[in-house]
């Protein structure tokens, strides 16, 4: 357990009060970075919150972590300004909100397994140790189905139609027309957990690849096109008959997540929704099977290798393309190596309307409140204040400064990031791991020659259906 007191913010508020009432003192002073505002031609996006004071009340935030993981960052709380654009924006956001509404932030990190247990204990004891729950998405549905999360309709000050609440995934988090978890501009963790494709610009130029950015704009950046680009490429540079990242140049690298990313990115799905917004098993269709087989063709050992060293492989010139999460882009911007570009996950074919980007349920955060919360009005007020207060400051630092300018390194990748974030997707079957089928599918191309999708689905269909039936029954009782 990692707990951070709110002393830094309290000290800052004291400093602000003294500075406002006294003459300027000699020597340097701590100043908050200016809050980013839209261009004059754009309409200012603000909340509809009333002007209220909470007399120094504490707002308790709990956030999950997994030891050794770097995917979650300091998007909720930092103790001091360090010059890091995101950290300083978070610090400034919290300080402004603390001063404006007279609140004190308390922040605690918990191992994700301990987090789940603590929520369950709180539910049975009618306790509310935390106001805002920032939960690992893969852990949310079990907690929700146990009746431990508050439906967003009870969070009266939260306006989910505001653009600082993630409109692209709002439908994904709706269960029977009810919302128990959501993402917003408050956090950057879920943006880091969004999938895309990176390419080495030096190799792309040397191999005279087509203008990939133009292909994206023209709608011709497809999985067939990616397969064409890497299939005719001789990756075995030293001619030893064995592909090794350190010796050769691969067509593409990635991790097991590439299967889910490209399947969902190609318009594939495991479930759909009925008229009551309940999940329905919907995998066994010709379109889904076709998309998945194409993904398997992409992940062929003649031009693809799985690796955990994606950043070094791309920057070191050992692969033309790579599956990535956007967290890779954030890391690579501070590393030495070849220049790189960012692309959305390719479409299945040119007839697909939008580029679709998978939101990882394993490394991303959803925001929720406890069912036992005794003051949902206060919690909802602060959730809305944080989301609105992050729209221009935190998100601008993350998106414009860190991603666009420092990470992506080129104007075209700025446009690509807009496309990546505009249509994010996830499937409730992945969120709930119905019948463990999604996990099995992700691993099919790795460590086995068995790629018979029909046979695999026949083994798992009844398990998936049973889990969906249980989910719907529990949802009926809960709503």
Confidence of residue 153 (pLDDT cuts 50, 70, 90): very high
Supply the pLDDT for residue 103.
98
| Final residue before a domain boundary, out of 407, 429, 444 | 407
Supply the pLDDT for residue 69.
74
Give the mean pLDDT of 251-264: 93
Is 26 inside a domain boundary?
no
Is 27 inside a domain boundary?
no
* Inter-helix orientation angle 85-101/7-21, to 10°: 70
Is the same domain home to 342 and 257?
Answer: yes
Is 412 inside a domain boundary?
no
The pLDDT of residue 46 is above 60 = yes
Least trusted range by pLDDT, from 72-86, 153-167, 350-364, 394-408: 394-408
In 233-378, DSSP assigns E strands to 250-254, 271-273, 279-281, 304-306, 319-325, 340-343, 357-358, 365-368
Hey, how many other C-beta atoms are within 10 angstroms of the C-beta on 32?
A: 16
Is the same domain home to 317 and 350?
Answer: yes
Q: Which residue has the higher pLDDT, 77 or 380?
A: 380
Least trusted range by pLDDT, from 11-20, 216-225, 297-306, 359-368: 11-20
Check residue 246 and report its DSSP letter: T
Is 44 inside a domain boundary?
no
pLDDT digits (tens, 9 = 90+) for 117-135: 888 888 888 788 899 999 9
pLDDT digits (tens, 9 = 90+) for 305-329: 888 899 999 999 999 999 999 989 8
Supply the pLDDT for residue 234.
64
* CA–CA distance, 45 with 297 (Å, rounded to integer): 45
Is the same domain home to 328 and 466?
Answer: yes
Is 145 inside a domain boundary?
yes
Is the same domain home to 245 and 323?
Answer: yes
Supply the pLDDT for residue 258.
94
Is the same domain home to 134 and 179?
Answer: yes
225 is in which domain, residue-wise?
195-358+417-478
The pLDDT of residue 367 is above 80 = yes
Is the same domain home to 213 and 284?
Answer: yes
- In 3D space, the residue among 333, 332, 358 whose CA is nearest the CA of residue 345 turns out to be 358
Instruction: Give the end-to-end CA distance of the chain in Å, rounded to a whole number.
Output: 33
Is 20 inside a domain boundary?
no
* CA–CA distance, 398 with 134 (Å, rounded to integer): 19
Supply the pLDDT for residue 23.
33
Least trusted range by pLDDT, from 96-100, 305-309, 398-402: 398-402
Provide, rounded to the nearest whole percent, the portion of the chain with pLDDT above 70.
85
Query: Residue ranges of the alpha helices (H) in 208-361?
Result: 212-218, 223-231, 257-265, 286-298, 310-315, 326-332
Could you tell me the CATH number of the domain that includes residue 70?
Answer: 3.40.190.10
Supply the pLDDT for residue 264.
97
* CA–CA distance, 468 with 472 (Å, rounded to integer): 6
* 3-class SS letters over 388-450: HHHCCCHHHHHHHHHHHHHHCCCHHHHHHHHHHHHCEECCHHHHHCHHHHHHHHHHCCCCCCC
Is the same domain home to 175 and 202?
Answer: no
Is the same domain home to 137 and 201?
Answer: no
The pLDDT of residue 301 is above 90 = no
- In 3D space, the residue among 259, 236, 231, 239 whose CA is nearest the CA of residue 248 turns out to be 236
Provide, rounded to the nearest whole percent, the portion of the chain with pLDDT above 90.
61
406 neighbors 413 (Cβ within 8 angstroms): no
Total domains in the fold of the chain: 2
Is the same domain home to 377 and 466?
Answer: no
Tokens 């008229």 belong to which residue?
275
The pLDDT of residue 107 is above 80 = yes
Is the same domain home to 400 and 421?
Answer: no
Q: List C-alpha distances in Å: 147 to 12, 60, 141, 320.
A: 39, 21, 10, 47
Is the same domain home to 333 and 457?
Answer: yes
Is 22 inside a domain boundary?
no
Supply the pLDDT for residue 210.
96
pLDDT digits (tens, 9 = 90+) for 160-203: 999 999 998 999 999 999 999 999 999 998 999 999 999 999 99
- In 3D space, the residue among 341, 342, 335 whose CA is nearest the CA of residue 316 turns out to be 335
Q: List C-alpha distances in Å: 265 to 10, 182, 262, 435.
A: 45, 21, 5, 22
pLDDT digits (tens, 9 = 90+) for 412-429: 877 899 999 999 999 999
348 neighbors 201 (Cβ within 8 angstroms): no
- β-partners of residue 3 are 108
Burial of 161 (0-12, 13-18, 19+ CB in 10 A): exposed
Looking at every residue in the chain, the average pLDDT score rounds to 86
Is 471 inside a domain boundary?
yes
Is the same domain home to 321 and 371?
Answer: no
The pLDDT of residue 448 is above 90 = no
pTM score, whole prediction: 0.87
* Inter-helix orientation angle 257-265/286-298, to 10°: 130
The pLDDT of residue 8 is above 90 = no
């Amino acid at each position: 357990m990692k707990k951070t007191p709110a002393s830094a913010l309290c000290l800052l508020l004291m400093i602000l009060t003294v500075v406002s009432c006294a003459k300027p003192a000699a020597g340097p002073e701590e100043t908050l970075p200016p809050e980013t505002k839209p261009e004059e031609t754009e309409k200012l996006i603000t909340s509809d919150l009333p002007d209220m004071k909470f007399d120094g009340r504490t707002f308790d935030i709990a956030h999950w972590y997994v030891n050794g993981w770097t995917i979650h960052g300091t998007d909720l709380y930092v103790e001091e300004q360090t010059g890091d654009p995101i950290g300083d924006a978070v610090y400034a956001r919290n300080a402004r909100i603390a001063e404006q509404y007279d609140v004190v932030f308390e922040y605690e990190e918990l191992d994700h397994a301990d987090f789940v247990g603590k929520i369950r204990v709180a539910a049975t004891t009618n306790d509310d140790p935390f106001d805002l729950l920032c939960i690992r998405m893969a852990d949310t549905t079990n907690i929700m189905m146990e009746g431990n999360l508050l439906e967003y309709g009870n969070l009266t000050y939260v306006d989910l139609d505001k653009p600082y609440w993630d409109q692209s995934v709002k439908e994904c988090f709706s269960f029977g027309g009810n919302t128990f978890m959501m993402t917003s501009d408050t956090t950057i963790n879920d943006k880091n957990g969004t999938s895309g494709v990176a390419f080495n610009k030096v190799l792309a130029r040397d191999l005279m690849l087509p203008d990939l950015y133009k292909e994206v704009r023209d709608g011709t950046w497809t999985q067939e096109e990616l397969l064409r680009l890497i299939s005719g490429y001789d990756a075995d540079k030293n001619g030893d008959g064995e592909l090794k990242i350190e010796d050769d140049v691969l067509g593409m690298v990635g991790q097991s997540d590439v299967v889910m990313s490209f399947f969902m990115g190609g318009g594939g799905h495991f479930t759909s929704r009925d008229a009551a917004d309940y999940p329905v098993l919907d995998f066994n269709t010709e379109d889904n099977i076709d998309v998945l087989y194409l993904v398997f063709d992409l992940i062929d050992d003649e031009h693809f290798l799985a690796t955990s060293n994606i950043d070094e492989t791309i920057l070191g010139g050992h692969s033309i393309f790579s599956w990535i999460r956007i967290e890779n882009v954030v890391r690579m911007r501070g590393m030495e190596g070849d220049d790189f570009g960012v692309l959305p996950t390719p479409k299945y074919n040119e007839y697909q309307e939008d580029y679709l980007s998978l939101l990882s349920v394993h490394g991303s955060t959803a925001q929720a409140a406890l069912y036992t919360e005794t003051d949902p009005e206060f919690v909802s007020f602060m959730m809305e204040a944080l989301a609105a207060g992050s729209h221009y400051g935190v998100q601008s630092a993350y998106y414009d400064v860190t991603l666009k300018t420092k990470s992506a390194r080129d104007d075209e990748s700025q446009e690509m990031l807009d496309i990546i974030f505009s249509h994010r997707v996830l499937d409730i079957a992945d969120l709930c791991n119905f019948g463990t089928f999604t996990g099995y599918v992700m691993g099919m191309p790795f460590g086995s020659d068995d790629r018979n999708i029909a046979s695999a689905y026949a083994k798992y269909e009844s398990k998936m259906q049973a889990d969906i039936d249980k989910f719907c029954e529990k949802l009926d009782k809960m709503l």
